[in-house]
Chains A and B, each alone.
Chain A
Amino acid sequence: MGKRVGLEVSLAVAEAVKLANVDVVSAYPITPQTHIVEELSIYVANGELDAEFIPVESEHSAMSAALGAATAGARVYTATASQGLALMHEILFIVSGMRMPLVMTVANRALSAPISIWNDHGDIMAERDIGWVQIFAENGQEALDLTLCAFKIAEDKRVLLPMIVNIDGFTLSHVIEPVIIPDHAEVDAFLPPYTPVLRLDTENPVTFGPVGVPEMYTEARKQLEQAIIGSKPVVEEVLDGFGAAFDRHYKLVEQNGKPGAKTRFVTMGSLGETCMTAVDELVAEGQDAGQTRIRLWRPFPEEEFLAACAGAERLVVIDRALSPGAVCGPVASELKSLFYGRPDAPEIVNLVAGLGGRDVTVREFKEMFAMAVSGKLSGNYTMWGVESHAS
């Protein structure tokens, strides 16, 4: 049945990794990811988790060792954030190109300079094109549950792709929340042991990572594209299966507020919960407000998003990352291309907000709503909160 405890979200993630019976954990510390891997190293040290813990000398090696372990046929986990994720960047493409079902938690954190240990999505937005399945958790329970689902999704023979579970640094990773921890037996029934399709086996030797000549590189990339597009129904299936087994239900895209609202916020990650409170208050005040929360980021759930926003005349898209010199923020840019050429395209109002750990409050969400409705937020995007500081 599982048990309900008050637990720091990082430790809940570590608990999920333990419940998943991983064989290898390789990791390098970076705030705000540290509590997860520290906890895992304790599990390994006291025998609670039968795995190898590789305390590597950098994130580049953390990802490299994780990939080596995965090709050897192990279930593997790592976690990182910010500069660490950036240092892994080169290897991330190789993991997905080799179709290795690694699972990684990213405790999202702003990138330097100036150095900031606090949350935004700048780190993960620089990794949009790596070919990994990417999902965002909004609270501690989701962080635990999605970590378990991630192994099942990644290892599904129809997917065989690595997967990132994003949790907002500090605002999620370091917060103590009530969390239900499932029983080992329940998890074992949901997540079967990993059986690799191919592995480094001296009895059946295979070559991993060969040279891709121009005659086949495009075909290999096409297969990767098909795999990630094809992962969407599997993600849905696994989340539904999880709901059936544990009675906690997750959708690729979720909505709340007034059904069919003309003005809708679009959020991703933990700001979604603050926004939800604001939207609830706006609706109670009689406003035509709604909210769409993107849970699955890659592959982008196009139909689900369109369905969730049907009838909307205006989307107020909150981007927790800046793409300097771009037309707008990364999420808004995704949505603009989704709606391009569609007769029902809503107006897209883009706010770049909450950078480097800046709070965005319920009051501010309501302020944004009022400004968006009265047409005061024009232009491709607005960096929220800058003007008020400057004045």
Chain B
Amino acid sequence: MLRDVDLSGYEKITAKNIPWEKFITSGHRACQGCAEVLAMGMVMKAAGPETIVCNATGCMEIITSPFPQSAWSVPWLHVAFENVAAVASGVESANRALERKGKLKKRPKVIAFAGDGGTADIGMQALSGALERGHDFVYVCLDNEAYMNTGIQRSSSTPYGAMTTTSPPGRKSIGQHTWKKNMAMIAAAHEIPYVATASPAYHLDLMNKVRKALTVEGPAYLHIFATCPTGWRSDPAKSVELCRLAVQSKVFPLYEVVGGRYIITQKVKKPKPVTEYFKLQRRFRHLTPDSVEYIQKRVEEEYARLEAFEKATAPLEEVSEPSTES
């Protein structure tokens, strides 16, 4: 179902008005070059102080909250690994009831963070339930493509061919042998008002997607790609570059699904080969040229499918109008 979503209320972030204030303070215990914490910081900058954060178990929870310290300057809640969407449902519902009963002045925004494991695997049921029930919150999946907190085990978001500690390459194995689960499209299939993919290498794009996600009434889902130098065996200094290369090689396309309409927000005109992206990390080093070729082909197919979705869901007048480009 396509439907109109009102995004007029959202305040755009530009290079000139990026908020100075940070809500995850420095001194947290993330590894050098961790793109998850980088992305989370950007999300919080865009969200601002009137926000309650719920955090699933995983790297981001552990590195920001060893008692008696906390890197959070907004109210923050961690319960367990698989249930952050349910926890956020409760927070959001309570706020709604308390506001109605005059016990809460203004309903704060609610953001739920989870890793790819906490989202695409064990937390999928709670997420699906919360999206289907229509709670007004933003769910952010920080996708570093494996269970990093427990030591780099595969998840259903680990890409084909990648080496992890539970998808080791060997005589009878290529490493991860399934294709990455398409979580953003699974979320979009719930017909929620707003879904987007984002990358900390495109920080304004990311922050504006957060703003849009917070603007819509009802659930919104953000899938953020994030390099983990520890798990990917990559140079911490190259994390942002890797995030950018994933987009430029079409491995991780950036798009929005607004009211069911797909919009590619970072068109890749001159794609880089996947090898350029693979080169900077060791988790793909064992791949044979054949495997790389297979991956290259499949990446292109997936991107073409996304373009087809964009075309198929574009507003009617745009499709019927002849192109003005020569």
Question: Quick one: which of A24, A55, A68, A208 has the most chain B CB within 10 A?
Answer: A68
Give the chain A neighbours of B61 by CB distance below 8 A. Answer: 211
Asked if B270 is an interface residue, CB under 8 A from chain A, the answer is no
Within 8 A of A (CB), among B196-243: none
Instruction: Name A58's contact: one of B62, B70, B90, B129 (CB within 8 Å).
Output: B129
Contact A52 B75 (CB under 8 A): no
C-alpha gap A208/B88 in the complex (Å): 13
Give the chain B neighbours of A74 by CB distance below 8 A. Answer: 93-94, 97-98
Stretch binding the partner chain, chosen from A59-67, A104-112, A175-183: A59-67
30 contacts between A and B (CB under 8 A): A24-B90, A24-B94, A52-B94, A54-B90, A54-B133, A56-B133, A57-B125, A57-B132, A61-B89, A61-B130, A64-B80, A64-B86, A65-B90, A66-B90, A68-B54, A68-B89, A68-B90, A68-B93, A69-B93, A71-B90, A72-B52, A72-B91, A73-B94, A73-B104, A76-B90, A91-B80, A94-B80, A210-B65, A211-B61, A212-B67
The answer to whether A200 and B79 touch (CB under 8 A), given A65-B89, A73-B98, A216-B68, is no
Contact B126 A64 (CB under 8 A): yes
CB distance from B170 to the nearest CB of A (A): 34
Within 8 A of B (CB), among A24-66: 24, 26, 50-52, 54-58, 60-62, 64-66
Give the chain A neighbours of B89 by CB distance below 8 A. Answer: 26, 54, 56, 61, 64-65, 68
The answer to whether A52 and B66 touch (CB under 8 A), given A23-B98, A205-B72, A209-B78, is no
Report A's interface with B, CB cutoff 8 A: 23-24, 26, 50-52, 54-58, 60-62, 64-74, 76, 90-91, 94, 200-202, 205-213, 216
Contact A72 B94 (CB under 8 A): yes
Give the chain A neighbours of B96 by CB distance below 8 A. Answer: 52
Contact B82 A205 (CB under 8 A): no
CB distance from B222 to the nearest CB of A (A): 20
Give the chain A neighbours of B97 by CB distance below 8 A. Answer: 23-24, 50-52, 74
B83-125 CB mask vs A (1 if < 8 Å, else 0) is 1011111111111111011011000100000000000000001
C-alpha gap A82/B98 in the complex (Å): 31
Q: Across the two chains, which residue of chain A brings its CB closest to B82?
A: A60
C-alpha gap A56/B85 in the complex (Å): 11
CB distance from B53 to the nearest CB of A (A): 9
Q: Across the two chains, which residue of chain A brings its CB closest to B100?
A: A50
CB distance from A136 to the nearest CB of B (A): 27
C-alpha gap A26/B104 in the complex (Å): 20
Instruction: Name B51's contact: one of A65, A72, A202, A207 (CB within 8 Å).
Output: A202
Asked if B153 is an interface residue, CB under 8 A from chain A, the answer is no
Besides A54-B89, A67-B90, A213-B67, 18 more A-B contacts (Cβ < 8 Å) are A55-B133, A58-B125, A61-B130, A67-B79, A68-B88, A68-B89, A68-B91, A68-B94, A69-B93, A72-B52, A73-B98, A76-B90, A200-B52, A202-B74, A205-B72, A207-B65, A209-B65, A216-B67
